[in-house]
Amino acid sequence: MIFIRKDQLNMTEGPFLKKLVVFALPVLLTGFLQLLYNAADLIVVGQFATSDAQGAIQSTGALINLIVNVSLGLAVGVNVAVAKYIGAQDENAVSKVVHTGLILSLIIGVFIAAFGFFQAHYFLELMNSAPELIELSTLYLKIFFLGTPLNLFYNFGAAALRAKGETQKPLFYLFVSGAINVVLNLFFVLVLDMDVDGVAIATITSQGISAVLVFIELKKTRGYCRIYVKKLKIDGGALKEILQIGLPAGVQGSMFSISNVLIQSTINTFGKVVVTANGNATSLEGFMYIAVDCVYQAALAFIGQNYGANRKENIKKVMRETFFMVTLLCAVLAAVMIPLRRVFLSVYNTDPEIIANGELRMLINVTTYFLFGWMQIFVAYLRGMGHGVLPVIVSVLGVCVFRIVWIYTVFPLWPTLISIYLSYPISWAITALAHFICHKLTEKKSYERMNTEALARVYS
């Protein structure tokens, strides 16, 4: 039997709340750092670049989120597979998944980079981007697309590390690369007098540094997840395992983003003041997302390992404690962000009209974000238990299709920003309820399959 190493968190033995916090806290700090660095991009261009630079970057937000969500969705396949095989103590299977995942990340990344670079302007036109912003937005987006292979490689590598409980190293890597990003932002914009191109170059440079650091860690780590250059190849079984969860998760991420692209296109019709305000509020809302995501990542890893270890009661305990964590985090953040919303928004831009429009989105979405948190915990449970397609179908119908229908039916009758923003909490509530129903309907069969797989490994 393989023992649990110091750099590997034991996720199959309770009590779990402390371990969940130990796992989630570095993920939370990593996400917050990422948002602070992204905010630094906007603050630098808002204060020191041309007057349209901030709006130009903001108008690319939905498209960039599309790429990021696809990347993170695919990486979920690596996370779940690695966690399951660590729980089952199958080091050979873990190795195949990690090596296959890294090669897959580069293949997909190169394809997205090439396609996105040449179609950037067309995508922005489809989104009704403001004519005065579209050229700057295209320049920023083209450079961003070039960094996609680096971004995917880092996300896949970090997913493997998180699956074995290593969440502190990715935090350190982001701290280093993000600090370099901020320095390069200031250097390119203030010293070299560059504009959005300088910020974009700084971004992909920092992504490259993160990718190199995670590669070095995977090369030198002991036991689970260690990589060898000669083993970097596609294994058919591992590829199937990754795509079984990762492909549906990636599709879900893309569908979320496509619906948000439609919403962004509608917001763009209100003019550049609203576009900038919405982007600034969305940036702040990102702190809520990170709070939810850190608990989601913890639930995914802990449920995955306990599924592999065939420990039913542990899975139920993890579910209860992650629900408590996500509710508490959302409540605390809302209690801080809502009273201080004007202060936070003024950091991005001091224009009173922009601040007022940003407040509207925050008042609706930040106060109801716990609904999204509940939804994500159910998704983590279903994925951790091996359901790749079911949570995607539910989420796509409950979030994406609902919002699209809302934009084409409710919004024409009530053409205001409030109408647009209300589509978020309503879709979260509907989808969370649907996931809960799916959880109860599939629970018995999921545990039966878990037992069957455990017996098959014993007698194989």
> pLDDT by residue for the chain (460 residues), tens digit each?
333 444 567 788 878 898 899 888 888 887 777 777 777 777 787 777 776 777 788 778 777 877 877 788 888 889 888 988 888 888 889 999 999 999 999 999 999 999 989 988 988 888 777 788 888 899 999 999 999 999 999 989 998 998 888 888 888 888 899 889 889 989 998 889 888 889 899 989 999 999 999 999 999 988 778 999 999 999 999 999 899 888 888 877 777 777 877 888 889 888 888 988 998 898 889 889 989 999 998 998 899 889 888 888 899 999 999 999 999 999 999 999 999 999 999 988 889 999 999 999 999 999 999 999 999 999 999 988 888 889 989 998 998 899 999 999 999 999 999 999 999 999 999 999 999 999 999 989 988 888 888 787 766 6
pLDDT at 460: 60
- Residue 451 has phi, psi (to 5 degrees) of -65, -40
Residue 171 lies in a domain: yes
Place of tokens 């920023």: 140
Please give the C-alpha separations between residue 330 and each of 285, 286, 300, 435, 453, in angstroms, as whole numbers: 11, 12, 19, 20, 36
Q: Is 12 among the domain residues?
A: no
pLDDT of residue 8: 60
Domain presence at residue 49: yes
Q: Is residue 460 part of a domain?
A: no
Residue 333, H or E segment: helix 312-337
> Quick count: other Cβ atoms within 10 Å of Cβ 126?
13
Residue 332 resides in a domain: yes
pTM score, whole prediction: 0.78
The count of domains in the chain is 1
128: left (phi over 0), alpha (psi -120 to 50) or beta: left
In this structure, what token pair is assigned to residue 18? 């402390």
Task: Give residue 397's domain range.
Answer: 17-452
Secondary structure (DSSP) of 373-421: HHHHHHHHHHHHTT-SSHHHHHHIIIIIIHHHHHHHHHHHHS-SHHHHH
pLDDT of amino acid 221: 85
CA 84/CA 387 separation, integer angstroms: 13
Alpha-carbon distances, residue 257 vs 69, 114, 204 (angstroms): 7, 20, 21
Nearest CA-CA partner of 162 in 246, 244, 83, 248: 83
8 Å CB contact between 264 and 61: yes
* Chain-centre distance for alpha carbon 241: 21
298: in domain: yes
| Euclidean distance between CA atoms 244 and 390, whole angstroms | 11
Which secondary-structure segment (H or E) carries 45?
helix 17-48
**Residues 204-217: b if buried by 16+ CB within 10 A, e if exposed:** bbbbbbbbebbbeb
**pLDDT of 322:** 96
> Within a domain: residue 295?
yes
**Which of 366, 364, 340, 358 has its CA nearest to residue 281?**
358
Does residue 458 fall inside a structural domain? no
**Alpha helical stretches, state H, 127-269:** 134-146, 148-163, 168-186, 196-220, 236-268
The answer to whether the CB of 292 falls within 8 A of the CB of 330 is yes
Please answer whether residues 447 and 386 qualify as being in contact, where contact means their C-beta atoms are separated by less than 8 angstroms.
no
